[in-house]
Amino acid sequence: MSDLGALLRQAREERGLSLDDIQEVTKIRKRYLEAIETGDYRVLPGTFYVRAFVKNYSEAVGLEPDEVLRLYKHEVPAPNIQQAAEPIPARKPRKMKSQKSEKLGKIGFNVLMWSFLVLIVLVIWYYAINKKSDPPGTADDTPITEQSSEPNATDGTGSPTDDAVVSPTPPPPTAPPTTVVFNSKVGISDQYDIGPAGVAHTVEIKISGKCWVEVRSGGTSGEKLFYANAQEGSVQTYELTDTLYINVGRADFAEIRVDGVLVPDTDKAGKKTMLLQPLKETNTNSQGSESGGSIGSE
């Protein structure tokens, strides 16, 4: 056994490692490790691998590989430069294309070129046929601007007038805004006059919390339109054609509007009753007609 092999073996045994363990760590075959320990380097595949195997073995057992190689360089055979140089594998020559593949390539190229030419010919033929199919003189001869023949305006005698005066159409009259005016106190109810007269009004009751709601048409003892607890989020709508009586148990939970105009109800957490009275039109035309008739009789 050589001194280098004895050193490596001693270091391995001090660490409690077997040759199998060193083989697992270094990936060096066990028979090569045994040859290094015995100093029989002829078993190794070549002198070039001796230094590499010794270096890996030293690292595996915790020794400094460069220091080990320096101390026992007289035992480690010098590497053969010719063995160290690994032969460069010759590059495989490129396979020459077979005559069959070259022939197929030429055929494909020719087919592609002929297809392209045929496509061009078909496009030219299509446009030429379409151009010939349009008969001459079928273009739209309609002038860009046409003078509309409108009848001339005539005067009262039926003769046309040069300058007809067209009276502008008056704009439709706008409806006057809705008014909600407090009139008086009728018992415990507040009476409001709803204007203007002769216009249909819509009453909307929006409930924001559960409360009692009573609605009557014609007054406090009129026809019942609603008589129950209204649920939160409900909306009730009524046409205001006659006196409308409204009774809410919680004024702060009810919002009453006429045509979108808010009716004041104090918004207090208590009962609130009101009478919505639509204004009536005053008949002034009848007196005028009677006076006109008396003058005519005279």
Using CA atoms, how far apart are residues 51 and 62, in angstroms rounded to an integer? 16
Q: Is the pTM of this model over 0.95?
A: no
Using CA atoms, how far apart are residues 10 and 68, in angstroms rounded to an integer? 13
**pLDDT interval class at 158 (50, 70, 90):** low
**Does the pLDDT at position 203 exceed 70?**
yes
- Confidence (pLDDT) at 99: 65
Burial class (CB in 10 A: 0-12, 13-18, 19+), 256: buried
Strands 272-278 and 223-230: unpaired
Task: State the average pLDDT for the chain.
Answer: 77
Of 270, 264, 263, 267, residue with least CA distance to 238: 263
Q: Specify the range with the lowest mean pLDDT, choosing from 64-68, 115-119, 202-206.
A: 64-68
Of the CATH numbers 1.10.3430.10, 3.30.420.40, 3.90.650.10, 1.10.260.40, which one belongs to the domain with range 3-84?
1.10.260.40
- List the domain boundaries for the chain: 3-84, 179-278
> Side-chain half-sphere of 37: how many Cα atoms within 13 Å?
18
**Does the pLDDT at position 207 exceed 90?**
yes
- Confidence (pLDDT) at 163: 53
- Confidence (pLDDT) at 199: 83
Query: Residue 254: what are its φ and ψ, rounded to 5°?
Result: -125, 135
Express each pLDDT in 39-92 by its tens digit: 888 888 777 788 888 889 889 888 888 888 887 777 776 665 444 444 444 444
- Confidence (pLDDT) at 93: 42
